[in-house]
Amino acid sequence: MIELGKSSLIIGLICGVTSLSFYGLNIKQQRNWFTYARISYALMTIAILLSAAALMILLLKHQFQVQYVYENSSRDLPLFYLISAFWAGQEGSFLLWTLLSAGVGIPLIFMTQIYDNEDKVLFNYLLIEVALILITIKSSPFKTFSQTPLDGAGLNDLLQNLWMVIHPPLIFLGYALYGTLYALAIAALWKGQYEEWVRPALPWTLMAWLALGIGIMLGGVWSYKTLGWGGYWAWDPVENASLIPWLTGTALFHGMILQLQRRRMQRTNFLLAIISFLLILYGTFLTRSGILANFSVHSFTNLEFDSIVLGLIAFFLLYGGYFYSSHSRQIPISKSSIAILSKEFSVIIVIGLLIISSSFVFMGTSSPILTGLLGKASNVTADFYNTTHIPIGILLAVFIGICPLVNWQRTTKKQLLRQLLVPLLLALVITALAIKAGSKNPVALLFIFASCFAIFSNAVLMLKSRLRKRVSWSSSLSHMGFGFLVIGIIVSSLFDDSKTVNLAENHPVEIHNYRFTFKGVHVSPDGRNQMVIELQQKKSISVATPTMYYSKRNEGVMAEPYVYRTLLEDIYISPLEYQPGIPRGVYRLIKGTPEQIGNYVFTFMRFRFPPVSSPMHGMMIEAEIQVVKTGAQKSAPHVIRPRFVAMSLPTEQKPVTLQNGEISLRILQVNADPPGSIVVSIEGIADEAVRQNVPAQLLVEISRKPLINFLWLGMVCIVVGGLIAVRRRIGELK
């Protein structure tokens, strides 16, 4: 299987180069080499598929001598996650990218046949594909150990989640589709089809944008539901790496629509298509190389392929730059003037804002590199992104709101004012309501106003186009989605109300109009500790179960939040720390900390490990405890040494009695974690001094996230609108 995987990749490379050569010959000689080129392409795809199948079988059959299988799976992993282990690591995800790229090329061949540009498009596309195969061979998932480990290290617990199973394939499908844009743009420059390329390229752009967008959104959902810090977006380099090309992709398809409608943006569109793909490569470089290792929590570790990826970026940059610069003079540009009150003006502004936004994110994400070149490597905080996106966000919402109210070419002031009336009024009403509800933050109010305006103006358009049975309402839906998204982001983050509280078992605490009662720990079938918390609001009671568990792979306690969802707000419960309860007469002694109990002061000094007569008896631990009697019958310090046998039950531990026989002490638990502590039961203390039962305690962060559902609603609207647009634009090709 390992050999099959490796050799298939080599065969795939050979077939890819062959196909590339035949397409090249076809361009040069004007002879028909298509059949050979297509057959080689098909063979390449089959070879990569075989290689991927080999890796999948190795994973399913637990072949731990393969490093990748060892690092990303284990025997106890359910089938579902075993499959997803394929793209859990770097090497596997590159193989997936290569495979998806090869697959995407097949419909590309069929489409470009119709447009009579197959050889040039596929020639360029194969350059990318061959590069991907090369990377996969270089950072191969088929490397082996000399010995076979018994079990794998397992899949990262954080990735054992439905969202994380589907998130990477979508991201890589997006990456693969961005490759087609590059190929289509270069081929169009090559062939001089400066206007004709846009119609066939538009559905590809929309699909690329949609796949990457859904991928990014799922990543946000995962972050919100699993990571427990209450957010869905952290401006982390790994997130930004996908966001930057997504923003330029958004700008690109708007530019393409403008070119189709008004013959504008010809040059910009070529540049955007080329740059978007380069940004994908750049993002890959940023996140997969070690360069940001000190700045990102979840950037991948360095493999020695930085230079390969850098070389590829340089190649595709120079290659694309050559084609653009040598043809840019021939690209027609529109000389007609643009009216301010027109749709084309609004769209141009929106494209400009998207480019500015992507530049800012690019600048922030690259800051360690940029500043490292000038001197000291520095990073920007999330505030940089948040601050710069305040004006961008507000302006975007305003122009998205104006867009549906104006005609493509020109609209008179009178027409606009009449159209403006309803959405403006409704937006004002909502903003007034927000002020009345107590929000005073001017930025928040501006955002609310602008995004309500965008929502209502697009809603009016959508209603009209539905009534008139006009087809185009997908964009209105997506634009409304943008408005919802912004409201969700602004309201849920600016009015986020977060409190850290200690919940003692069975002691209700009232927060955010809810009564929270910690009911103890319930061990779920998968061995994770569920913290059972009762939530009571008026008369309705529900149960929240945030979880905490020890992850062997991550060597630490993992906490998974619980989100109690209601229509208007989420109650986000994130467990932070759990302290088990201590029954009556039981004490925790921390190393070096004197503890006064009754008339005695106990100080746990240190652990000792006396030799054991036979290893069969398990490990013996001795605790040295200094005991001093205080008060009237003051005594000199006295040392006792109770023992604890690690492998037997606490009830079998022998008690140690103090010299005078007054008290006896027994170790129940030993905790070696620094500073070290023991749990002991002490008998013989005067009744009134005995420590009462200490309830178990759970430290949680409880936050209220108002209107967070608008965020999800916005995402769904954008995606549904995008899907409808894809269907329509594909239909237009026929």
Partner 1 sequence: MKRRYLIGGVIILAFILFGMRTFMRHITPYVSIAEARRVHKTVQVSGLLGVNKGTYDPQTHSLRFILTDKHGDSLLVTYRGVKPANFDNATSVVVIGKYDSGVFKAKKLLLKCPSKYKDRTL
Residue 573 and residue 509: Cα distance in Å, rounded? 14
Give Cβ neighbours of residue 416 (< 8 Å, ≥ 6 apart): 341, 405, 406
Give which of 277, 89, 251, 106 is closest to 183, Cα–Cα: 277
Peptide bond preceding 675 in cis form (omega within 30 of 0) = yes
User: Which of 256/559 has CB closer to partner 1?
Assistant: 559
Whole-number minimum distance, CB 490 to partner 1, in Å?
19
User: Which of 83/377 has CB closer to partner 1?
Assistant: 377
- Sites of contact with partner 1 (CB under 8 A): 67, 70-71, 145, 147, 149, 153, 294-295, 297, 301, 337, 352, 356, 359-360, 363-364, 367-368, 371, 376-381, 383-384, 387-388, 391, 500, 553-559, 576-577, 579, 673-675, 699
User: Which of 151/497 has CB closer to partner 1?
Assistant: 151
Instruction: Could you list the beta-strand ranges (E) of 449-598.
Output: 497-504, 509-511, 514-523, 529-537, 540-544, 547-551, 556-560, 562-565, 569-579, 586-590, 595-597
Whole-number minimum distance, CB 576 to partner 1, in Å?
4
Residue 568 and residue 710: Cα distance in Å, rounded? 9
User: Which of 162/392 has CB closer to partner 1?
Assistant: 392
User: Which of 526/577 has CB closer to partner 1?
Assistant: 577
Residue 156 and residue 280: Cα distance in Å, rounded? 25
CA distances from 298 to 11, 365, 378, 543 (A): 34, 14, 18, 32
Whole-number minimum distance, CB 579 to partner 1, in Å?
7
Whole-number minimum distance, CB 2 to partner 1, in Å?
16
Burial category of 613 from C-beta neighbours within 10 Å (exposed 0-12, middle 13-18, buried 19 and up) = exposed
Whole-number minimum distance, CB 339 to partner 1, in Å?
11
User: Which of 368/721 has CB closer to partner 1?
Assistant: 368
Whole-number minimum distance, CB 337 to partner 1, in Å?
7
Residue 221 and residue 591: Cα distance in Å, rounded? 43
Residue 255 and residue 356: Cα distance in Å, rounded? 15
User: Which of 496/662 has CB closer to partner 1?
Assistant: 496
User: Which of 381/472 has CB closer to partner 1?
Assistant: 381
> Phi, psi at residue 42, to the nearest 5°?
-60, -40
Sign of CA dihedral 27, 33, 36, 41: positive
Residue showing tokens 């990571």:
227
Whole-number minimum distance, CB 290 to partner 1, in Å?
12
Torsion of CA 97, 100, 101, 104, to 10 degrees: -160
Whole-number minimum distance, CB 31 to partner 1, in Å?
49
Whole-number minimum distance, CB 421 to partner 1, in Å?
27
Q: Can you tell me whether residue 283 is helix, strand or coil?
A: helix
Whole-number minimum distance, CB 716 to partner 1, in Å?
31
Q: Are 542 and 563 in contact (CB under 8 A)?
A: no
Residue showing tokens 């008060």:
631
Whole-number minimum distance, CB 293 to partner 1, in Å?
8
User: Which of 364/393 has CB closer to partner 1?
Assistant: 364
Assign residue 513 a region (left: φ > 0; alpha: ψ between -120 and 50; beta: otherwise): left
User: Which of 465/579 has CB closer to partner 1?
Assistant: 579
Q: Which two tokens stand for residue 362?
A: 């690019």
User: Which of 379/537 has CB closer to partner 1?
Assistant: 379
Give which of 113, 90, 93, 138 is closest to 41, Cα–Cα: 113
Whole-number minimum distance, CB 130 to partner 1, in Å?
28
User: Which of 192/372 has CB closer to partner 1?
Assistant: 372
